[in-house]
Chain A
């Protein structure tokens, strides 16, 4: 095995999806596959999700949504919310991709592209509930809704959704954000919009705060078995991926493995965490550019597998377990992994 491998389980993903769907019902799951489904592979993940009955996929960027429309066909909702270039907007509208719109400038461009393409854009308008990233400021909301509805009257767009992102700074602040969100959705409905979809929560709030869920919940991390940093394990949900390296040399005290910092394993993890070996947990002693060293075990051989993260069968940590040792989140451990690490899909 010349390359380290990210081994990903379809049955675990399907099971996680099922657990989350039953937990959030009657809200519907929108599975988030941004950044190539957190490196698990957007096409593969979306395929498993569709077979498991997932009705909505959120991609962030438009090119990924177009790829999934090709691969999955027409019978699934696709949502892309990155503020994008006109060529991307145009392609999205022709391929029935719902767009998340978080600024007046972007709304105008979507309306314009819909006119040129002679199609009706399905728009989810984003209210800024405090994060101050994308999202229309509450003071501009009435103007944005009216503009959207005037374009709707012309057949250019259909205002089908209201959504936002939560800060997850505290329950109180998320409550305040929800209040803004509910007022925004209520205003759009008062103006005559047929709002089919409201969505506010991502993984953590979706799981812990049923009162904040909309008609849709946007969940990525938890479907992949990535729990929140400093958060509890999620009942019934397991990591879907195991990062495996291979022993390339055996010395007296340590073995070398074929995975290093240039492959996305943060060098700051050295001496702070353990990894999984056939003999159980062993210290990750050092991380160099293309290799790392791990405390040895009796009978260690060149070619043996070492698990950097996974579901814990060899006492390896989860991605979040690694991340917590360097004060970050499991998602960063996953998304730093480079293409040198090959993916393998099981069952």
Chain B
């Protein structure tokens, strides 16, 4: 997503941590070396799986990668100015031997993140609301409250990669506490149940990659049947990217 002079407050953020990328890149290159691989090639296709091509190229080059695979000549141009010391290849048939799960900090098949998640998908509490027993939430009224409770409306819906199938299934994090997504996820917003917890308008809501939602992508994979790779990439390409140290 492009830079804007405005807050872009309606859009969730994909916050990419440069230190996590640097640490993960070292871990991933060491793991490739350790398994006897000498190609040391990183998969940076599709804007480095939605994490930002230039930043990831820099991180893997610093960590000793010998080559990177990118999408096309435009991507080759985009990283031309970086002191890579690595060979840049345009993908046809990918032969990367640096494990992207380690590089990007994605859960492994057991749901464990070996390094640190490089991306956190973060929405914001827009408004708060109390509801009564029997009140329903969102399209199709797929959630009905079993007792009086409170809801928070959150930026982020399926157009930003928060998959529609996650409604009534997944959980999010606010300040270290975990909350259920309730009702159907809409195109741009979701609703979470906060009950009696003191949550404020504007609070950061972590969908994955931080807090109790650190390994939530693994739940997303189980719920949706989609892969970690496509879940993180589409979210990264469909949200406003911000950088963290």
Contacts and interface: CB of A to CB of B under 8 A. Distances in A.
Nearest to A220: B187
Interface string A222-263: 000000000000000000000000001000000000000111
B186 interface: yes
Contacts of A61: 8-11
B241 interface: no
Contact of A267 (B127, B141, B191, B226): B226
A293 to B, nearest CB: 13
Interface stretch (A41-49, A211-219, A305-313, A326-334): A326-334
B72 A133 contact: no
Interface stretch (A22-30, A78-86, A156-164, A192-200): A78-86
Interface stretch (B34-42, B158-166, B203-211): B158-166
A42 B205 CA distance: 28
Interface string A310-339: 000000000000000011110110011011
Task: Indicate the size class of the contact surface on chain A.
Answer: 35 or more
Contacts of B137: 131-133
Interface string B129-170: 101000111111100000000010100001101011100000
B4 A168 contact: no
Nearest to A221: B187
Nearest to B153: A133
A285 interface: no
Contact of A134 (B126, B141, B229): B126
B10 A336 contact: no
B18 interface: no
A88 B10 CA distance: 10
Nearest to B1: A339
Nearest to B73: A2
B136 A130 contact: yes
B186 A133 contact: yes
B131 A132 contact: yes
Contacts of B139: 131, 167-169
A261 B231 CA distance: 9
Interface in B60-95: 71-72, 91-92, 94
A87 to B, nearest CB: 6
Interface in A262-305: 262-264, 266-268, 289-290
Contacts of A248: 92
Interface string A50-91: 000000000011110010000000000000001111011001
Contact of A261 (B8, B161, B226): B226
A206 to B, nearest CB: 15
Nearest to A106: B127
B238 A88 contact: no
B233 A35 contact: no
A209 interface: no
Q: Top 9 nearest A-B pairs by Cβ distance?
A: A82-B10, A85-B7, A335-B159, A261-B230, A61-B10, A85-B9, A169-B141, A35-B159, A262-B46
Given A61-B8, A336-B161, 10 more contacts: A35-B159, A106-B127, A131-B138, A131-B139, A133-B191, A262-B229, A262-B233, A289-B230, A328-B158, A328-B165
